[in-house]
Amino acid sequence: MPLYIKDPEVDRLASELIGLTKTSKVDAVRDALKDAIASRKARLPIEERLARTLQMAEAAGPFHPGDHRHETDEMWGEDD
């Protein structure tokens, strides 16, 4: 869905960022949004960040190390 913003201040800020970064408007807005999201996430309480990390770990399932040399040799079609 397209993003249409008709606000003179937002346009001025976008133009200023474009001038500083020498990028397109799309790249400037994308980078600014990513930076703002990362900044907000970094300020979340540690308990909330850890809870999210634990949820991701549980969703990923258990880790089974295995024999990496054998797996790599098998992947490349090499015999011992």
Question: What does the pLDDT look like over 56-68, one tens digit per residue?
Answer: 999 988 877 777 7
From the CB of residue 18, how many other CB atoms can be counted at a distance below 10 Å? 16
Q: How confident is the model at residue 51 (pLDDT cuts 50, 70, 90)?
A: very high
φ, ψ for residue 16 (rounded to 5)? -65, -45
- SS3 percent helix, strand, coil of the chain, rounded to 5, is 70, 0, 30
Q: Model's pTM, two decimal places?
A: 0.56
